[in-house]
A and B are shown apart, each in its own frame.
Chain A
Amino acid sequence: MLSGILIFNQKGENLIFRAFRSDCRPRLADIFRIQVISNPHVRSPILTLGSTTFSHVKHENIYLVAVTKSNANAALVFEFLYRLIMLGKSYFGKLDEEAVKNNFVLIYELLDEILDFGYPQNTETDTLKMYITTEGVKSAIANNPTDSSKITQQATGALSWRRSDVKYRKNEAFVDVIEDVNLLMSATGNILRADVNGQIVMRAYLSGTPECKFGLNDRLLLDPAQASDTTPGRATNNNAGGKSKARRAAAGSVTLEDCQFHQCVKLGRFDTDRIISFVPPDGEFELMRYRATENVNLPFKVRPIVREIGTTKVEYSVAIRANYDSKLFATNVVLRIPTPLNTAKMTERTSQGRAKYEPEQNNIVWKIARFSGQSEYVLNAEAILTTMTHQKAWSRPPLSLSFSLLMFTSSGLLVRYLKVFEKSNYSSVKWVRYMTRAGSYEIRF
């Protein structure tokens, strides 16, 4: 398992060195500095030298490094480092060199708590915050035996993510469905890849220990006949399957390719009868992540026409069209149009929004603050190139688009219900919000 956790700044100074096992020698810090930080040709986040493996993550301006001497689960190591970053963020606002230097005592304390002999222990932020506190707040609770036995109950309990004594005057739950839509379109206009990575973030302000049930317009749930999807024998009639798929999409259900759930969701129940049931942590958390690849509604269609005229001129004509309902509007639409490296002068005209040439990025950045549905805008531009001594083909990186669009889901996902059951039987108010953003929305030309 983990032999030690090290934190470096960009210059390679060791800010935190916490060894969990005797085989993590101080010399390892120098080895990492030489082999990774001062080595410009680092190929992978994992470096194995002899029996020692360094796994590192770069965050802001620091390196977080895990040292392992055994054959550890690499994914676990990285997940742990991410968790450490998350903890740092929630404790200090952000985790950078400054924060590490200012809070090194707390970081040691945290590391001591979340790792024992190199094995990760409880890393739930809410629980940790109960007994590991930032400076200023006296750790009075922790010093009181009765309170602290409560803490330890929670730190090890089956519901380690929730305190039992939560009380709210008004019981509310907010559900945000946030989708990142990814697109890769070829130069000929074929869609090479279109999929949706969605996450459902919940903010629960509910008293007591509520048990929640959550329903989506998930195809497998709505159409139990199709639940046999996961059992063998389906491959026999692929054709029929394709047809019924299309029908179902019309009926308003969504095929989720894969779902991942927060710790609190009872995975066994989901696996058997597709019911998402859980006791939520208090406050904000990510309830689930999902992926959908069928029937992805692409909110924007971009048609670039780029002509290279001789070796000195490039003409652009880029049209972008919104495919969603005209009542909706997208905000912060930014289209980045790559230009050749040797662009000398740029002229651009747009029918809406503002376009600017950014030489340092080799991009034309076209911003449209508000983009109503069903409208179409065009950008025309012309780049004059300087002549270069050796002619090298322009590699034409893809155009990339970013936007955010409220009350729209690319996958068509809808929240059907959220039920809250609690002993005291209080009524609760629920709010749902949908948003679609651009993930990696790339169009080649």
Chain B
Amino acid sequence: MAMNKIRGAFTVPRKGETFELRAGLVSQYAYERKESIQKTIMAMTLGKDVSALFPDVLKNIATADLEQKKLVYLYLMNYAKSHPDLCILAVNTFVQDSEDPNPLIRALAIRTMGCIRVDKMVDYMEEPLRKTLRDESPYVRKTAAICVAKLFDLNPAMALENGFLEMLQEMIGDPNPMVVANSVTALQEIQHTAPETQALQINSNTLRKMLMALNECTEWGRVTILTTLAEYKTSDVKESEHICERVAPQFQHVNSGVVLAAVKAVFLHMKNVNPELAKTYLKKMAPPLVTLVSSAPEVQYVALRNIDLLLQKQPDILNKELRVFFCKYNDPQYVKFQKLEIMVRIANDRNVDQLLAELKEYALEVDMDFVRRAVKAIGQVAIKIESASERCVNTLLDLINTKVNYVVQEAIVVIKDIFRKYPGYEGIIPTLCQCIDELDEPNARAALIWIVGEYAEKISNAGDILGGFVDGFNEEFSSTQLQILTAVVKLFLKRPEKAQGLVQRVLQAATAENDNPDVRDRAYIYWRLLSNTSDSNATKNIPPEQFVGHGRFGADAVMRAAIEEQIQNARENPLAAAAAAAAGGAPPSGQPQSNVENLLDIDFDGGAPASAQTEPSGGMSGLEGLAGTPMRVASPAAGAPPQASNNLDDLLGVFGDSGAAQPSSGSGSADLMNGFSGLDLSGNAGSSQNNQSKKSNDDIMSLF
């Protein structure tokens, strides 16, 4: 019956409910009062404001019934803030309770006092707290220890003045392990909020006491102590060894919180002990970590995240345990994703076959996100383990043959990345080109276009393929558009006779009909570069070593030199420098006049020197990966050699010149194509250059 009444309170409040409650609270019958308190608490939980009942609830505080007392205290904790003045009425009861013969009541009083966050209450806390900290019952002491942390949170000055911190520090030596744990907890909390108090200073004495308590206190207390130990900076190797030795048995605890805290402590102190011993501990921590992977999903997730971190520091602690991380069919998605990441991390020459078979299995499942991640993982494995790249590519080809749309798309994106690192797999290009019609995602399309452009000289119908994309140029996403543009230009450079018309069309489409600034800018720069070099043989003799991102002097060096020169110039003759900068940006004679007004030129005139002086790093970082930024790199360089401004026919010349300004300039001959792809390389980290491929491999790796 009482149940029903309680449950009734969860329904919509009736009119005058507060009134009824109040009537109950002042009833002459004890059971009615208690029931009303319960209802009040219920209403409070539901978010109703029952603070108006404060005085009436408070009347019930003096009771022998422990349960009722707890309820009133709960109410007090919630609403003390709204009636700070009335709280004073409760103080007396609290102080009395803190001297009650029953330790449960003493503890309850001191616990609740700390939770009533009202200044008046704090003023009266000092005496009871001091008494309870020295209570004979460990239960009261451990509660009082936490209460010091509460007090410090409310009024740090008072906690310090009354020497509560010192009392806590003494309590680390308490005979009861739980009191020790709670004292450490409280001190740790104070130390974190106010490091200047130096609340938790560990010396060999306290260390010994904590290690003693570690084996006896509750699991939660162990976590606290282990965390403290992990943060402690040991003074010598002996101490570190001692800590590791005492903490390692905790790996066997059933509570995963304890296990992870112990792993953390040992892991941090391990680096001080001798390597042989450290290896032993690494071996010891592997099995418990693996065990965590078969626990409940939430803990599994936490464990996996931690394992991921540990592997970054110690990549080989789990390399024999690959199978443990195989996904179960009904694992939650978040666990599966994390397992995939870890599997890639522990992949090596020996287990790669097994891993690939497993990843292939995942790629055939139905969960689309998971499948994508699995396919991506295959690519990551290929890039991580060179010897396995061929097997990875074969696996990906198998997946492409399944013709499942999203698998194919993801596989193509991944293959592109593999091509960037290992250029030698042209053989599979025909297979890739067959699925051209199935690709509908921009990045998959872009990936395929990149492949076609990169290997244009080896694909006989590259022109037709790209032609198809150019026809629908304006319907594509801008990321795909950028790729089309670059690919067509690459094709043109490799086979000028075939792609003349195509390149015209795509440049036209990208500049005249497109309103995306990135696409337009890139189209303009290509147009400019092409229109000035296609009819002049002058630049054909520039050796490839002089181009940006090529040879001994990378783009960074070139740009730095250019900036320096610019600054130097500006210092010597500001006017001339400005003029030169303007002249450097002026269109060459061959360029159509209409281009003078376009965006590109504006950029060249004003923006370039400014950006060169203030923010050179912007341009440099752009070099590393973004295909859209070669222009930015070009801008500062354009204004760089002012003395040559009038001699400059074209931008390529600029690069050549600034390159030549460096002490070394190898002379030799290479055709324009080589030179151009040298420039292109700075954007795409392309792999057509042999001597460059090593470096760009690293780039790709870092991208991952």
Binding site for B on A (CB under 8 A): 1, 14-17, 22, 26, 29, 43-46, 55, 57, 70, 73-82, 101-102, 104-105, 108-109, 112, 116-117, 119-124, 131, 135, 139, 142-145, 148-149, 151-153, 155-158, 160, 182, 184, 186, 192-193, 195, 197, 230-232, 257-263, 265-268, 270-271, 286, 288-289, 291, 392-393, 395-398, 400, 440, 442, 444
Contacts and interface: CB of A to CB of B under 8 A. Distances in A.
A78 B339 CA distance: 19
Contacts of B296: 78, 82
Interface stretch (B67-75, B509-517, B549-557, B601-609): B67-75
Contacts, number: 244
A111 to B, nearest CB: 10
Interface centre among A45, A123, A131 (most CB of B within 10 A): A45
B659 interface: no
Contact of A261 (B182, B254, B306, B323): B254
Contact of B111 (A46, A82, A116, A135): A116
Interface centre among B65, B104, B115, B329 (most CB of A within 10 A): B104
Contact of A442 (B10, B257, B287, B329): B329
Given A76-B220, A105-B71, A442-B329, A262 B287 contact: no
Do most interface residues of chain A lie in helix, strand or loop, or is the interface mixed? mixed
A73 B280 contact: no
B184 to A, nearest CB: 11
Nearest to A106: B67
A230 B283 contact: yes
9 interchain residue pairs of minimum CB distance: A76-B257, A152-B139, A258-B287, A120-B220, A271-B249, A267-B249, A145-B101, A75-B257, A156-B138
Given A79-B256, A108-B41, A153-B138, A45 B291 contact: no
A76 B261 contact: yes
A160 B218 contact: yes
B149 A267 contact: no
B45 A104 contact: yes
B446 interface: no
B404 A393 contact: yes
Contact of B248 (A16, A78, A261, A271): A271
Interface in B278-322: 279-280, 283-284, 287-288, 290-291, 294, 296-299, 301-303, 305-306
12 contacts: A70-B192, A78-B302, A104-B6, A112-B111, A116-B111, A120-B218, A151-B104, A153-B139, A156-B179, A260-B259, A288-B254, A397-B329
B63 to A, nearest CB: 11
Interface in B198-239: 215-216, 218-220, 223-224, 227
A119 B178 contact: no
A410 to B, nearest CB: 15
Contacts of B365: 395, 397
B254 A131 contact: no
Contact of A157 (B66, B176, B324): B176
Interface string B265-284: 00000000000110110011
Do most interface residues of chain B lie in helix, strand or loop, or is the interface mixed? helix
A238 to B, nearest CB: 11
Nearest to A30: B47
B102 interface: yes
B111 A76 contact: no
Given A156-B142, A260-B252, A271-B248, A193 B326 contact: yes
Contacts of B153: 22
B74 to A, nearest CB: 6
A1 B192 CA distance: 12
A259 B257 contact: no
A397 B331 CA distance: 13
Contact of A123 (B107, B220, B298, B326): B220
B284 A230 contact: yes
A144 B100 CA distance: 11
A116 B185 CA distance: 11
B146 A119 contact: yes
A73 B215 contact: no
A76 B179 CA distance: 20
